[in-house]
């Protein structure tokens, strides 16, 4: 399978899921997750028409993004999707147009400060952990529909982050647990969509973006309202490291 063929197949699968859900496929952005893959491989996806790419490590991105950008005239959009250590925050802004992994008020404050200094605003998503898995990063949100304390903390964090001048908060991101059957991930995606709706209503913000769904579960995520899917292996094959 070539990367171009894989991309066609993923786009078809997204279109089929949109059909089932009565959604418009143009409302779903495919983000090709290129972590561990070299610039030449990324360029194959660019040649196949992909514009959005996801990377999860600042160091790896620091060499790869300038390399790829230097090899194509097309304007690419780079999404940071991995946990950002505080001391690496300053390296994120020059590389990425979009940060999907804002997982604390502290990191949000830091990114906002950097953006303000540079006279720009950064598009971000808040990463939330709706599944309750301990190994996952993200603002704690499991049980948000019933647990008053979780809700209070989440709402307070949201309020603090929305007040930051350097960030444009566009929505939420989550990672579902790894499961055998993608149907098992559906409640997690539904919960993220409901949380987005609740926050949008409470704070009078549109919060248009829902980034959810990876190789093993993106069709279900699209059915539940994903506006961004982050697909790595189904496009590039197994990772190099």
Q: Whole-number minimum distance, CB 56 to ligand PLP, in Å? A: 4
Distance between CA 224 and CA 90 in Å, rounded? 34
Distance between CA 205 and CA 184 in Å, rounded? 30
Q: Does 231 participate in binding ligand PLP (rule CB under 6 A)?
A: yes
Q: Whole-number minimum distance, CB 54 to ligand PLP, in Å? A: 6
Q: Whole-number minimum distance, CB 36 to ligand PLP, in Å? A: 9
Comparison of 33 and 46: residue with beta carbon closer to ligand PLP: 33
Q: Is 112 exposed, middle or buried (0-12, 13-18, 19+ CB in 10 A)?
A: buried
Q: Which of 66, 152, 233, 240 binds ligand PLP (CB under 6 A)?
A: 233
Pairing of strands 52-55, 209-211: unpaired
Q: Is 175 exposed, middle or buried (0-12, 13-18, 19+ CB in 10 A)?
A: buried
Q: Whole-number minimum distance, CB 177 to ligand PLP, in Å? A: 13
The three-point CA angle 105-111-116 to 5° equals: 120
Instruction: Give the residue among 62, 73, 70 at the shortest CA–CA distance from 35.
Output: 62
Residue nearest to ligand PLP (CB): 232
Q: Which of 18, 30, 35, 224 binds ligand PLP (CB under 6 A)?
A: 35
Q: Does 164 participate in binding ligand PLP (rule CB under 6 A)?
A: no
Q: Whole-number minimum distance, CB 94 to ligand PLP, in Å? A: 21
Q: Whole-number minimum distance, CB 159 to ligand PLP, in Å? A: 25
Distance between CA 189 and CA 213 in Å, rounded? 8
Q: Does 176 participate in binding ligand PLP (rule CB under 6 A)?
A: no
Instruction: Give the number of residues in contact with ligand PLP, rule: CB under 6 A.
Output: 13
**Phi, psi at 49, each rounded to 5°:** 100, 5
Query: What is Dmax (Cα atoms) for the chain?
Result: 51
Per-residue binder mask for ligand PLP (CB under 6 A), 63-102, x = binder: ------------------xx--------------------
Q: Does 175 participate in binding ligand PLP (rule CB under 6 A)?
A: yes
Q: Give the binding site for ligand PLP (CB under 6 A).
A: 33, 35, 56, 81-82, 175, 214-216, 230-233
């Amino acid at each position: 399978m070539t990367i171009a063929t894989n991309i066609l197949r993923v786009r078809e699968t997204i279109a089929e899921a949109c059909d089932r859900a009565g959604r418009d496929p143009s409302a779903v952005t495919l983000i090709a997750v290129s972590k561990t893959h070299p610039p030449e491989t990324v360029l194959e996806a660019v040649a196949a028409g992909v514009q959005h790419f996801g990377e999860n490590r600042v160091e790896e991105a620091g060499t790869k993004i300038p390399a790829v950008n230097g090899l194509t005239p097309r304007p690419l959009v780079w999404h940071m999707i991995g946990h950002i250590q505080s001391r690496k925050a300053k390296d994120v802004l020059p590389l990425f147009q979009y940060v999907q992994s804002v997982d604390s008020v502290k990191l949000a404050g830091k990114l906002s400060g950097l953006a303000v200094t540079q006279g720009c605003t950064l598009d971000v998503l808040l990463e939330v952990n709706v599944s309750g898995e301990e190994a996952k990063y993200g603002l704690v949100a499991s049980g948000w529909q019933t647990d008053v304390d979780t809700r209070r903390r989440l709402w307070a964090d949201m309020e603090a982050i929305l007040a930051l001048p350097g960030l444009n908060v566009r929505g939420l991101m989550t990672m579902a647990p790894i499961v055998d059957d993608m149907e098992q991930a559906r409640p997690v995606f539904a919960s993220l969509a409901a949380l987005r709706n609740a926050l949008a209503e409470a704070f009078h913000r549109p919060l248009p973006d829902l980034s959810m769904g990876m190789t093993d579960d993106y069709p279900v995520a699209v059915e539940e309202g994903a506006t961004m899917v982050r697909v790595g292996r189904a496009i590039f094959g197994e990772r190099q490291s």
